[in-house]
A and B are shown apart, each in its own frame.
Chain A
Amino acid sequence: MVNEILARLQALPDILAATPILAIGLTLGAFFAGNWLFSRVGRPLWLPPVVLSALLLAGVIAFLAVDYQSYQQGARWLSVLLGPATVALGIPLYQQMHHIRAMWRPIVVTLPIAATMAAVYAVVIGWALGATPEVLASLAPKSVTAPIAIGITEQLGGSVPLMMGGLLITGVVATLFVDLLARLLPVKDERILGFALGLNGHAVGTARAFEISHTAGAFASLGMGLTGVFTALILPLVFRL
Protein backbone atom coordinates (compact mmCIF):
# COMPACT_ATOMS: atom_id res chain seq x y z
CA MET A 1 0.00 0.00 0.00
CA VAL A 2 2.62 2.55 1.13
CA ASN A 3 4.96 1.32 -1.54
CA GLU A 4 2.34 1.85 -4.22
CA ILE A 5 1.73 5.42 -3.10
CA LEU A 6 5.49 6.06 -2.99
CA ALA A 7 5.82 4.73 -6.52
CA ARG A 8 3.00 6.99 -7.67
CA LEU A 9 4.63 9.90 -5.85
CA GLN A 10 7.76 9.32 -7.89
CA ALA A 11 5.76 9.49 -11.11
CA LEU A 12 3.84 12.58 -9.97
CA PRO A 13 6.24 15.32 -11.19
CA ASP A 14 6.25 13.87 -14.70
CA ILE A 15 2.45 13.63 -14.79
CA LEU A 16 2.06 17.22 -13.59
CA ALA A 17 4.77 18.36 -15.97
CA ALA A 18 2.69 17.06 -18.88
CA THR A 19 0.55 20.22 -18.60
CA PRO A 20 2.00 23.76 -18.60
CA ILE A 21 0.53 24.56 -15.18
CA LEU A 22 3.42 23.06 -13.18
CA ALA A 23 5.96 25.14 -15.08
CA ILE A 24 3.86 28.28 -14.59
CA GLY A 25 3.37 27.55 -10.89
CA LEU A 26 7.08 26.89 -10.32
CA THR A 27 8.10 30.04 -12.17
CA LEU A 28 5.58 32.23 -10.31
CA GLY A 29 6.58 30.71 -6.97
CA ALA A 30 10.29 31.23 -7.64
CA PHE A 31 9.60 34.80 -8.80
CA PHE A 32 7.91 35.74 -5.51
CA ALA A 33 10.36 33.75 -3.38
CA GLY A 34 13.29 35.46 -5.14
CA ASN A 35 11.80 38.91 -4.55
CA TRP A 36 11.14 38.09 -0.90
CA LEU A 37 14.69 36.78 -0.42
CA PHE A 38 16.07 39.87 -2.17
CA SER A 39 14.45 42.24 0.33
CA ARG A 40 15.47 39.97 3.21
CA VAL A 41 19.19 40.14 2.32
CA GLY A 42 19.09 43.93 2.09
CA ARG A 43 18.56 44.50 -1.66
CA PRO A 44 22.24 44.13 -2.73
CA LEU A 45 23.03 45.72 -6.12
CA TRP A 46 25.36 42.90 -7.15
CA LEU A 47 22.67 40.27 -6.68
CA PRO A 48 19.51 41.22 -8.62
CA PRO A 49 16.28 39.38 -7.64
CA VAL A 50 16.18 37.61 -11.00
CA VAL A 51 19.39 35.74 -10.12
CA LEU A 52 17.95 34.62 -6.79
CA SER A 53 14.70 33.53 -8.44
CA ALA A 54 16.57 31.64 -11.16
CA LEU A 55 18.79 29.86 -8.62
CA LEU A 56 15.73 28.78 -6.60
CA LEU A 57 13.91 27.65 -9.73
CA ALA A 58 16.92 25.68 -11.01
CA GLY A 59 17.24 24.04 -7.61
CA VAL A 60 13.58 23.02 -7.51
CA ILE A 61 13.63 21.69 -11.08
CA ALA A 62 16.72 19.62 -10.32
CA PHE A 63 15.29 18.42 -6.99
CA LEU A 64 11.90 17.41 -8.43
CA ALA A 65 13.70 15.64 -11.27
CA VAL A 66 11.47 17.47 -13.74
CA ASP A 67 12.95 17.24 -17.21
CA TYR A 68 14.32 20.68 -18.16
CA GLN A 69 12.94 20.32 -21.71
CA SER A 70 9.43 19.65 -20.45
CA TYR A 71 9.73 22.63 -18.09
CA GLN A 72 10.65 24.80 -21.09
CA GLN A 73 7.65 23.48 -23.02
CA GLY A 74 5.28 24.52 -20.24
CA ALA A 75 7.02 27.83 -19.57
CA ARG A 76 6.35 28.82 -23.17
CA TRP A 77 2.96 29.97 -21.93
CA LEU A 78 4.82 32.71 -20.07
CA SER A 79 7.49 33.41 -22.68
CA VAL A 80 4.86 34.12 -25.31
CA LEU A 81 4.02 37.31 -23.39
CA LEU A 82 7.55 38.62 -24.04
CA GLY A 83 6.43 39.86 -27.46
CA PRO A 84 3.73 42.25 -26.17
CA ALA A 85 6.04 43.10 -23.22
CA THR A 86 8.72 44.25 -25.67
CA VAL A 87 6.14 46.44 -27.41
CA ALA A 88 5.21 47.79 -23.95
CA LEU A 89 8.78 49.18 -23.56
CA GLY A 90 7.85 51.72 -26.24
CA ILE A 91 5.53 53.54 -23.81
CA PRO A 92 8.16 54.57 -21.20
CA LEU A 93 10.54 55.27 -24.07
CA TYR A 94 7.98 57.71 -25.49
CA GLN A 95 7.46 59.22 -22.03
CA GLN A 96 11.24 59.78 -21.56
CA MET A 97 11.70 61.16 -25.07
CA HIS A 98 11.53 64.81 -23.91
CA HIS A 99 14.87 64.33 -22.10
CA ILE A 100 16.49 64.02 -25.51
CA ARG A 101 15.69 67.67 -26.14
CA ALA A 102 17.63 68.71 -23.03
CA MET A 103 20.76 66.83 -24.16
CA TRP A 104 20.27 65.87 -27.76
CA ARG A 105 23.82 66.50 -28.97
CA PRO A 106 25.69 64.21 -26.52
CA ILE A 107 23.00 61.56 -26.90
CA VAL A 108 22.96 61.60 -30.70
CA VAL A 109 26.77 61.43 -30.85
CA THR A 110 27.31 58.90 -28.05
CA LEU A 111 24.48 56.42 -28.57
CA PRO A 112 25.44 54.93 -31.97
CA ILE A 113 29.15 54.72 -31.09
CA ALA A 114 28.82 53.46 -27.52
CA ALA A 115 26.02 50.97 -28.27
CA THR A 116 28.00 49.57 -31.22
CA MET A 117 31.22 49.36 -29.20
CA ALA A 118 29.43 47.60 -26.31
CA ALA A 119 28.80 44.72 -28.73
CA VAL A 120 32.07 45.02 -30.69
CA TYR A 121 34.40 44.89 -27.65
CA ALA A 122 32.77 41.70 -26.38
CA VAL A 123 32.66 39.98 -29.78
CA VAL A 124 36.26 40.89 -30.67
CA ILE A 125 37.63 39.77 -27.29
CA GLY A 126 35.58 36.55 -27.43
CA TRP A 127 36.69 35.88 -31.01
CA ALA A 128 40.37 36.49 -30.15
CA LEU A 129 40.08 33.94 -27.32
CA GLY A 130 38.56 31.34 -29.62
CA ALA A 131 34.83 31.48 -28.88
CA THR A 132 32.56 29.73 -31.41
CA PRO A 133 30.16 31.75 -33.62
CA GLU A 134 27.22 30.56 -31.50
CA VAL A 135 28.88 31.93 -28.35
CA LEU A 136 29.75 35.22 -30.11
CA ALA A 137 26.12 35.61 -31.22
CA SER A 138 25.11 35.08 -27.59
CA LEU A 139 27.58 37.71 -26.32
CA ALA A 140 26.76 40.45 -28.85
CA PRO A 141 23.49 41.72 -27.28
CA LYS A 142 24.92 41.72 -23.74
CA SER A 143 24.07 45.37 -23.03
CA VAL A 144 20.51 45.18 -24.37
CA THR A 145 17.46 44.81 -22.14
CA ALA A 146 16.41 41.16 -21.86
CA PRO A 147 13.18 40.98 -23.92
CA ILE A 148 14.85 42.73 -26.86
CA ALA A 149 18.07 40.73 -26.43
CA ILE A 150 16.13 37.44 -26.66
CA GLY A 151 14.77 38.54 -30.05
CA ILE A 152 18.26 39.56 -31.22
CA THR A 153 19.91 36.30 -30.13
CA GLU A 154 17.24 34.23 -31.85
CA GLN A 155 17.77 36.22 -35.05
CA LEU A 156 21.58 35.81 -34.84
CA GLY A 157 21.47 32.10 -34.00
CA GLY A 158 22.91 32.30 -30.48
CA SER A 159 21.97 30.45 -27.30
CA VAL A 160 19.30 32.23 -25.26
CA PRO A 161 20.35 30.75 -21.86
CA LEU A 162 24.02 31.69 -22.39
CA MET A 163 23.01 35.19 -23.55
CA MET A 164 20.83 35.60 -20.43
CA GLY A 165 23.70 34.63 -18.14
CA GLY A 166 26.02 37.08 -19.91
CA LEU A 167 23.37 39.77 -19.83
CA LEU A 168 22.96 39.56 -16.06
CA ILE A 169 26.72 39.56 -15.42
CA THR A 170 27.06 42.56 -17.75
CA GLY A 171 24.31 44.44 -15.89
CA VAL A 172 25.99 43.88 -12.55
CA VAL A 173 29.58 44.67 -13.60
CA ALA A 174 28.48 47.67 -15.70
CA THR A 175 26.92 49.11 -12.55
CA LEU A 176 30.13 48.54 -10.58
CA PHE A 177 32.34 49.99 -13.36
CA VAL A 178 30.16 53.12 -13.73
CA ASP A 179 30.48 53.76 -9.98
CA LEU A 180 34.24 53.14 -10.11
CA LEU A 181 34.96 55.26 -13.21
CA ALA A 182 32.66 58.06 -12.04
CA ARG A 183 35.05 58.49 -9.12
CA LEU A 184 38.30 58.02 -11.08
CA LEU A 185 37.62 60.24 -14.12
CA PRO A 186 35.72 62.01 -12.37
CA VAL A 187 32.18 62.35 -13.78
CA LYS A 188 29.60 64.16 -11.65
CA ASP A 189 26.80 64.93 -14.11
CA GLU A 190 23.90 62.70 -13.05
CA ARG A 191 22.45 62.71 -16.55
CA ILE A 192 25.70 61.26 -17.97
CA LEU A 193 25.97 58.65 -15.22
CA GLY A 194 22.33 57.63 -15.72
CA PHE A 195 22.70 57.39 -19.48
CA ALA A 196 25.87 55.28 -19.15
CA LEU A 197 24.14 52.97 -16.65
CA GLY A 198 21.16 52.38 -18.94
CA LEU A 199 23.23 52.06 -22.11
CA ASN A 200 25.69 49.50 -20.72
CA GLY A 201 23.81 47.90 -17.86
CA HIS A 202 20.19 47.73 -19.16
CA ALA A 203 17.59 47.10 -16.43
CA VAL A 204 20.14 46.34 -13.68
CA GLY A 205 21.95 49.63 -14.39
CA THR A 206 18.65 51.52 -14.59
CA ALA A 207 17.66 50.24 -11.15
CA ARG A 208 20.95 51.60 -9.80
CA ALA A 209 20.41 54.94 -11.59
CA PHE A 210 17.05 55.42 -9.86
CA GLU A 211 18.93 55.11 -6.55
CA ILE A 212 21.19 58.01 -7.54
CA SER A 213 18.31 60.33 -8.43
CA HIS A 214 15.13 60.53 -10.45
CA THR A 215 16.94 62.43 -13.21
CA ALA A 216 19.63 59.74 -13.46
CA GLY A 217 16.87 57.12 -13.62
CA ALA A 218 15.05 58.92 -16.42
CA PHE A 219 18.25 59.16 -18.48
CA ALA A 220 19.02 55.51 -17.75
CA SER A 221 15.57 54.46 -19.03
CA LEU A 222 16.18 56.53 -22.12
CA GLY A 223 19.67 55.06 -22.63
CA MET A 224 18.33 51.53 -22.15
CA GLY A 225 15.45 52.01 -24.58
CA LEU A 226 17.51 53.69 -27.29
CA THR A 227 20.32 51.11 -26.99
CA GLY A 228 17.77 48.31 -27.31
CA VAL A 229 16.20 49.71 -30.45
CA PHE A 230 19.50 50.76 -32.03
CA THR A 231 21.23 47.42 -31.35
CA ALA A 232 18.22 45.39 -32.49
CA LEU A 233 18.11 47.25 -35.80
CA ILE A 234 21.88 47.35 -36.49
CA LEU A 235 23.32 44.11 -35.10
CA PRO A 236 21.50 41.64 -37.40
CA LEU A 237 22.59 43.67 -40.42
CA VAL A 238 26.23 43.73 -39.25
CA PHE A 239 26.23 40.02 -38.39
CA ARG A 240 25.14 39.11 -41.90
CA LEU A 241 28.41 40.48 -43.33
Chain B
Amino acid sequence: MSMLRGFLVLVLFFILGESMRVLFALPVSGGVLGMVVITFTLMVKGNVSDELASASQGLISVLVLLIMPGVVGVFFTADQFSGQWLAVATALLVGTFLSVLTTLLLMQLVTARGDGDGE
Protein backbone atom coordinates (compact mmCIF):
# COMPACT_ATOMS: atom_id res chain seq x y z
CA MET B 1 0.00 0.00 0.00
CA SER B 2 2.56 2.55 1.13
CA MET B 3 4.67 1.89 -1.99
CA LEU B 4 1.59 2.54 -4.14
CA ARG B 5 1.10 5.85 -2.37
CA GLY B 6 4.68 6.79 -3.30
CA PHE B 7 3.96 5.66 -6.86
CA LEU B 8 0.96 7.99 -6.94
CA VAL B 9 3.25 10.91 -6.02
CA LEU B 10 5.57 9.99 -8.93
CA VAL B 11 2.63 9.73 -11.33
CA LEU B 12 1.27 13.10 -10.19
CA PHE B 13 4.65 14.80 -10.73
CA PHE B 14 4.88 13.16 -14.16
CA ILE B 15 1.42 14.48 -15.07
CA LEU B 16 2.49 17.89 -13.78
CA GLY B 17 5.62 17.70 -15.98
CA GLU B 18 3.60 16.63 -19.04
CA SER B 19 1.15 19.48 -18.42
CA MET B 20 4.01 21.99 -18.19
CA ARG B 21 5.47 20.63 -21.44
CA VAL B 22 2.18 20.98 -23.30
CA LEU B 23 1.07 24.32 -21.79
CA PHE B 24 4.39 26.12 -22.34
CA ALA B 25 5.29 24.21 -25.55
CA LEU B 26 8.62 23.14 -24.01
CA PRO B 27 11.00 20.92 -26.02
CA VAL B 28 11.80 18.84 -22.90
CA SER B 29 10.06 15.56 -22.00
CA GLY B 30 7.44 15.57 -19.23
CA GLY B 31 9.43 13.01 -17.23
CA VAL B 32 12.47 15.28 -17.02
CA LEU B 33 10.36 18.31 -16.08
CA GLY B 34 8.65 16.24 -13.36
CA MET B 35 12.07 15.08 -12.16
CA VAL B 36 13.40 18.65 -11.94
CA VAL B 37 10.27 19.83 -10.10
CA ILE B 38 10.31 16.93 -7.62
CA THR B 39 14.04 17.45 -6.91
CA PHE B 40 13.47 21.14 -6.13
CA THR B 41 10.38 20.31 -4.06
CA LEU B 42 12.43 17.88 -1.96
CA MET B 43 15.25 20.44 -1.57
CA VAL B 44 12.76 23.00 -0.26
CA LYS B 45 11.02 20.42 1.93
CA GLY B 46 14.34 19.13 3.25
CA ASN B 47 13.44 15.42 3.53
CA VAL B 48 11.97 12.56 1.53
CA SER B 49 9.20 10.26 2.83
CA ASP B 50 9.84 6.52 3.13
CA GLU B 51 6.89 5.83 0.82
CA LEU B 52 8.35 7.97 -1.95
CA ALA B 53 11.87 6.63 -1.42
CA SER B 54 10.74 2.99 -1.64
CA ALA B 55 8.51 3.61 -4.67
CA SER B 56 11.34 5.34 -6.53
CA GLN B 57 13.82 2.63 -5.58
CA GLY B 58 11.41 -0.02 -6.81
CA LEU B 59 10.93 1.67 -10.17
CA ILE B 60 14.64 2.39 -10.62
CA SER B 61 15.53 -1.25 -9.91
CA VAL B 62 13.35 -2.37 -12.86
CA LEU B 63 14.50 0.39 -15.23
CA VAL B 64 16.27 -2.19 -17.38
CA LEU B 65 12.95 -3.96 -17.85
CA LEU B 66 11.28 -0.74 -18.94
CA ILE B 67 13.95 0.19 -21.51
CA MET B 68 14.23 -3.30 -23.02
CA PRO B 69 11.48 -2.84 -25.65
CA GLY B 70 13.53 0.11 -26.96
CA VAL B 71 16.86 -1.73 -26.84
CA VAL B 72 15.58 -4.81 -28.65
CA GLY B 73 14.43 -2.61 -31.53
CA VAL B 74 18.04 -2.06 -32.58
CA PHE B 75 18.10 -5.63 -33.97
CA PHE B 76 14.96 -5.06 -36.03
CA THR B 77 15.63 -1.59 -37.41
CA ALA B 78 19.31 -2.12 -38.25
CA ASP B 79 18.77 -2.16 -42.06
CA GLN B 80 17.35 1.34 -41.89
CA PHE B 81 20.79 2.75 -41.09
CA SER B 82 22.97 0.68 -43.39
CA GLY B 83 25.87 2.66 -44.82
CA GLN B 84 26.10 4.83 -41.71
CA TRP B 85 27.65 2.32 -39.36
CA LEU B 86 31.18 3.67 -39.81
CA ALA B 87 29.99 7.17 -38.85
CA VAL B 88 28.04 5.82 -35.87
CA ALA B 89 30.88 3.63 -34.58
CA THR B 90 33.52 6.37 -34.99
CA ALA B 91 31.31 8.97 -33.34
CA LEU B 92 30.67 6.67 -30.38
CA LEU B 93 34.24 5.46 -29.86
CA VAL B 94 36.27 8.59 -30.63
CA GLY B 95 33.59 10.91 -29.20
CA THR B 96 33.44 9.03 -25.92
CA PHE B 97 37.24 8.89 -25.64
CA LEU B 98 37.46 12.66 -26.13
CA SER B 99 34.64 13.42 -23.68
CA VAL B 100 36.14 11.19 -20.96
CA LEU B 101 39.51 12.91 -21.48
CA THR B 102 37.85 16.35 -21.31
CA THR B 103 36.00 15.48 -18.09
CA LEU B 104 39.05 14.09 -16.29
CA LEU B 105 41.38 16.94 -17.30
CA LEU B 106 38.85 19.65 -16.42
CA MET B 107 37.99 18.11 -13.05
CA GLN B 108 41.65 17.65 -12.18
CA LEU B 109 42.55 21.17 -13.25
CA VAL B 110 39.79 22.86 -11.24
CA THR B 111 40.21 20.59 -8.20
CA ALA B 112 43.97 21.26 -8.06
CA ARG B 113 43.44 24.99 -8.32
CA GLY B 114 40.75 25.14 -5.65
CA ASP B 115 42.45 22.64 -3.31
CA GLY B 116 41.36 23.02 0.28
CA ASP B 117 38.12 24.75 -0.70
CA GLY B 118 35.03 23.50 1.06
CA GLU B 119 36.69 20.28 2.15
Contacts and interface: CB of A to CB of B under 8 A. Distances in A.
Contact of B77 (A92, A104, A122, A161): A161
A29 to B, nearest CB: 11
A182 B91 CA distance: 22
B100 A178 contact: yes
B35 interface: yes
A30 B56 contact: no
Given A54-B72, A89-B35, A131 B80 contact: no
A110 B106 contact: yes
B86 to A, nearest CB: 6
A72 B68 CA distance: 10
Contact of A122 (B28, B52, B91): B91
Nearest to A76: B69
A174 B102 CA distance: 12
Contacts of A78: 65-66, 68-69
B23 interface: no
Contacts of A90: 13, 34-39, 42, 56
Interface residues of A, number: 104
Contacts of A13: none
Interface in B35-62: 35-39, 42-43, 48, 52-53, 55-57, 59-60, 62
Contact of B27 (A84, A155, A182): A155
Contacts of B111: 103, 105-106, 189, 192
Given A110-B110, A142-B96, A200-B100, A233 B34 contact: no
Contacts of A121: 91, 94-96, 98-99
A71 B99 contact: no
B60 A88 contact: yes
Contact of A31 (B68, B73, B77, B87): B68
Contact of A81 (B66, B76, B93): B66
Given A103-B111, A105-B110, A165-B74, A142 B29 contact: no
Interface of A: 23, 27-28, 30-31, 49-51, 53-54, 57-58, 61-62, 68, 71-72, 75-76, 78-79, 81-95, 97, 101-106, 109-110, 113-114, 117-118, 121-123, 125-126, 129-132, 135, 139, 142-143, 146-148, 150-152, 154-155, 159-166, 168-170, 173-174, 177-178, 181-182, 185, 187, 189, 192-193, 195-196, 199-200, 203, 228-229, 232-233, 236-237, 240
Given A84-B59, A86-B29, A168-B71, 10 more contacts: A31-B65, A82-B67, A88-B57, A89-B35, A117-B98, A121-B98, A159-B80, A169-B93, A200-B100, A232-B29
26 contacts: A50-B68, A50-B71, A54-B74, A61-B76, A68-B76, A86-B35, A91-B42, A91-B48, A91-B52, A95-B48, A105-B111, A106-B111, A110-B103, A114-B106, A121-B98, A147-B66, A168-B71, A173-B97, A174-B96, A181-B100, A185-B105, A187-B104, A189-B107, A192-B108, A196-B103, A200-B100
